[in-house]
A and B are shown apart, each in its own frame.
Chain A
Amino acid sequence: MNKSLKKKLESDFDSSVEILEKNGWTITANKNQVLDILRFLKGEGFDYLALISCVDWIEKGEFELIYILSSYLADKEKMHLILKTRIPRKKPDFETTIHIFENAEPYERELHELFGVNFNGHPRLEPLFLDRNYKTPPFRKDFDTRKYVEETFGSIKSVEGKK
């Protein structure tokens, strides 16, 4: 069953499937094919979206969006697929996947807030964790947290000295 799935994935969509280990596949796909692949996989039984993540490859100037899927069905539950796609770092726009997986909503909000990836079509993109906006989103590689800490908290003087 797995072989046919792999062949279908590579034939219908020009994505390359690499078998990491027995039940962990990584699928690298083109960025405008991702939604179709997700729908196709949901149809195949992978109806559980574990995680949406984003890796900041700063040298290549790209964000890599990661969709990790698994399944609730008995036979497929051992497998988890990592669907990867690359989007440019300068203008990180992408489609929302809420209409396919309902639980994607907080993950996308978090990636929007911490990486600056905006998902068009997302109903509620307002901040999730942070209560202020940072010039560069904090989880990007070029945000130096130690320098930021030095500037903001280092400059605040302690109160004992004052009368």
Chain B
Amino acid sequence: MDRNQITKWIKNPKKMGSKYSLWAIYFCTGCGIIEIPPILTSRWDAERFGIKPAPSPRQANLFLITGYVTLKTLKAVVRTYEQMPDPKYTVGFGSCPINGGMYWDSYNTIKKLDKYIPIDGWIAGCMPRPESIFIAVTHLWTMIDKGIADGYEKYKEKYFYYRKNQEKALGELDWPPLHPMKKKEEGQ
């Protein structure tokens, strides 16, 4: 462990602790899920990067949203995202969450995922390959160091707009808001 690694650990143990052991929540949201088992098992072995499937959102801090997100899944995705402890990172997987992908004209899938929950990284590909997930994880490490991967803080800060968008897409939500619903102006 060279010098700056140790200083990093001392300065911010919480972030450094979670950085090298990103547990991915085991939730098959879309068609991309078929590329997750290969990376978890022996051929590609994501455990070399510290990625392990976590059974429940309470134990995960990486949320791989794989493929398109339908309206019903969006409800589950938002609830799962809100149940995950901070610091949590989300990665949009494939073309569909970026701008609608192949189902750009389907009435039941949402087009741009970052309108509803903050996304730290996007991976291109219609079914991105396993290698691109590993490169995404290395990018995530540097983003965590530099503090760019602050999706969960953005979520807390702009929760009012995220909540408004979720209600606009899903109608009346039956779970209470996670953070206080305050607009910037009212705050002052």
Q: Give A residues with C-beta under 8 Å from B.
A: 129-132, 134, 138, 143, 145-146, 148-149, 152-153, 155-160, 162-163
Contacts and interface: CB of A to CB of B under 8 A. Distances in A.
A159 B162 contact: yes
A159 B71 contact: no
A138 B108 CA distance: 10
B115 interface: yes
B114 A132 contact: no
B184 A159 contact: no
B71 A131 contact: yes
Chain A at the B interface: mostly helix, strand, loop or mixed? loop
Closest 3 CB pairs of A and B: A145-B107, A146-B105, A131-B72
B105 A149 contact: yes
Nearest to B110: A153
A63 B184 CA distance: 53
B172 to A, nearest CB: 11
A131 B161 contact: no
B138 interface: no
Contact of B168 (A146, A148, A155, A158): A155
A159 B168 contact: no
Given A131-B71, A156-B115, A156-B165, A162 B158 contact: yes
